[in-house]
A and B are shown apart, each in its own frame.
Chain A
């Protein structure tokens, strides 16, 4: 498959647990984005990587959220001490260039439910 993949597709966590969400971008794509989508809303930007550099993390809602892309390909979004308000679909997208003017290809998302 040549698309963006994400794992797990579904995650249920108890409040206070830590979770890690994985994104495999399209091979060779420079840019990688994380978005959070609540039910009935559009995706909300979380953070952006260009290769291994995290260039924008202005959308991360709190210091409980942390993202990394150490080798410039696979990325992990980690949420510590999960809260009920963290329940959402977490979408990863990648694009071939470092600007917002080019198509972002989205993965299937990880649906996180915090009980």
Chain B
């Protein structure tokens, strides 16, 4: 079992709809969780981080964390073609240094 699991996709969502990306993790000691966006051929860029159970909203993005279920999600409202990218879920490592990434979900927003 990988430490951070994501569906590889591709996930196809119509423009203007809500895109829902999901992630599970295995280490119950994980304290911090991140969503990175990576365009093809580019480096990852952080779009959201969350530490506490519940929802965290930033513009069109909402991160949701459920530590009991070891589940993290990212919702993107009013999806735009520019949101088409690979979304990487990651957790803070127990050594308080490294970040463990999932393999990413490819998201495609169709006009």
- Interfacial chain A residues near B104, Cβ < 8 Å: 41-42
B→A interface (CB under 8 Å): 4, 8, 31-32, 42-46, 49, 51, 88, 90, 92-93, 95-104
A109-B43 in contact (CB<8A): yes
Pair count A-B, CB < 8 A? 68
Interchain nearest-CB distance for A20 vs B (Å): 20
Q: How far is the CA of A40 from the CA of B44 in the complex (A)?
A: 13
| Closest residue of B by beta carbon distance from A56 | B97
Interchain nearest-CB distance for A97 vs B (Å): 10
B46-A104 in contact (CB<8A): yes
In the complex, which of the residues A45, A105, A109 contacts B93, with contact meaning CB atoms closer than 8 Å? A45
Interchain nearest-CB distance for B45 vs A (Å): 7
The 4 closest A-B pairs by CB, nearest first: A42-B101, A100-B92, A106-B43, A45-B98
B92-A107 in contact (CB<8A): no
| Closest residue of A by beta carbon distance from B92 | A100
A100-B44 in contact (CB<8A): no
A101-B98 in contact (CB<8A): no
Interface of B is mostly: loop
Interface centre among A45, A58, A105 (most CB of B within 10 A): A45
B44-A43 in contact (CB<8A): yes
In the complex, which of the residues A31, A59, A98, A108 contacts B43, with contact meaning CB atoms closer than 8 Å? A108
Query: What are 8 A-to-B residue pairs whose CB atoms are below 8 Å?
Result: A33-B99, A41-B104, A42-B4, A42-B90, A56-B97, A98-B96, A100-B31, A100-B92
| Closest residue of B by beta carbon distance from A106 | B43
- Interfacial chain A residues near B98, Cβ < 8 Å: 33, 45, 48, 56, 58-59, 100
Assess whether A44 is interfacial by the CB under 8 Å rule: yes
Interchain nearest-CB distance for B2 vs A (Å): 9
Interchain nearest-CB distance for A8 vs B (Å): 15
- Interfacial chain A residues near B92, Cβ < 8 Å: 99-101
Contact flag A100-B32 (CB < 8 Å), given A33-B98, A45-B99, A56-B98: yes
